[in-house]
Amino acid sequence: MELNVCWMYHDIMDLYGDKGNMMVLKKRCLDRGIQIKIDTLSIKDECDLSTYDLLFLGGGADKEQKMLIDDLLSRKENIAKAMNENTFILLICGGYQLFGQYYISADNEKIEGLKFFDYYTETGSNGTRCIGNIAIECDLDGNKITAVGFENHGGQTRNVKTPLGHVLHGYGNSFEGKQEGFYNGQVLATYMHGPLLPKNPEITDFVIYKALKKRNPDITLQDLAPLDDTLEHQAKEYMLKRLSSK
């Protein structure tokens, strides 16, 4: 089996170790004999995104989001085609925000989003930001997972019809909502950096499985050979214990 990935704006959107997501995705594929090719995409690069099994877009500060938004919007039709053809999409923080209606940045500038989804993001009042470690409970197509990460965002994302999970510790989409991220079966978007995939091998495997499904429709999550996740589980247990004792 093989997996073709496009890492969008790798040179611009890479906050708090987001590139670790691609390293771990690669490692967990290679450990199982799954061939993986990770292409990168920068502003103005010519590329048909619909040919990929997985698109990945990391987080970025307002400045970076503004730098790439025109290029991203110019690819809207192509991203829609990718979605129609069952490409799976993983989005972190700043990338997550840009798939919604709009993002109002810290300096009160409105950045129009791709508008694929109903959610929108506005910056918190008085420049307040959601910062710190976060733990959530989520249900990925029936697989119940406790995920951990780190968040640092001013944006408050509201009107999320299908959140990724319920917040156990931290903030998530907004200060008040106790909801985190977005998941609709094909697009998994989250505020969790840290990075997400190394800290949560269950999510990595879920993403690999969903992306492989594009060209292998009969595959199940159980078809992925188990790997030794002892260290990752210990790290997660430790973090959850620390968060609960606060």
Task: Give the interface segment with ligand GLN, choosing from 49-57, 59-67, 137-145, 226-234 (CB under 6 A).
Answer: 59-67
Q: Is 198 in the site for ligand GLN (CB under 6 A)?
A: no
Q: Which of 20, 59, 165, 201 binds ligand GLN (CB under 6 A)?
A: 59
Min CB(230)–ligand GLN separation in Å: 30
d(CA 11, CA 205): 25
For ligand GLN, which is the closer residue by CB, 23 or 67? 67
Task: Give the interface segment with ligand GLN, choosing from 54-62, 111-119, 138-146, 203-211 (CB under 6 A).
Answer: 54-62
Residue 158 assigned to a binding site: no
For ligand GLN, which is the closer residue by CB, 94 or 165? 94
Q: Report 86-115 residues binding ligand GLN (CB under 6 A).
A: 93-94
Residue 138 bears catalytic tag: no
d(CA 74, CA 1): 32
Q: Are strands 179-180 and 165-169 parallel, antiparallel or unpaired?
A: antiparallel
Q: Which of 5, 6, 12, 15 binds ligand GLN (CB under 6 A)?
A: 15
Q: Produce one character per residue of 154-187: b if its CB has 16 or more CB atoms within 10 Å, e if not.
A: bbbbbebeebbbebbbbbbbbeebbbbbbbeeeb
What's phi and psi for 144, nearest 5 deg? -85, 125
Using CB positions, name the residue nearest to ligand GLN.
59
Sheet holding 182-183, edge to edge: 35-41, 2-8, 54-57, 88-92, 187-190, 182-183
Q: Which of 6, 93, 130, 138 is catalytic?
A: 93
Beta-ladder partners of 36? 3
Q: Which of 149, 155, 172, 195 binds ligand GLN (CB under 6 A)?
A: 155
Residue 193 bears catalytic tag: yes
Measure Cα distances from 177 to 73, 152, 219 in Å.
29, 16, 35
Q: Is 62 in the site for ligand GLN (CB under 6 A)?
A: yes
For ligand GLN, which is the closer residue by CB, 120 or 209? 120
Q: Is 61 in the site for ligand GLN (CB under 6 A)?
A: yes
For ligand GLN, which is the closer residue by CB, 18 or 205? 18
Q: Is 153 in the site for ligand GLN (CB under 6 A)?
A: yes
Report the interface residues with ligand GLN, using CB under 6 A. 15, 59-62, 65, 93-94, 152-155
Residues annotated catalytic, as ranges: 93, 193
Pick out the residues of the known binding site: 129
Pick out the residues of the known binding site for substrate: 129
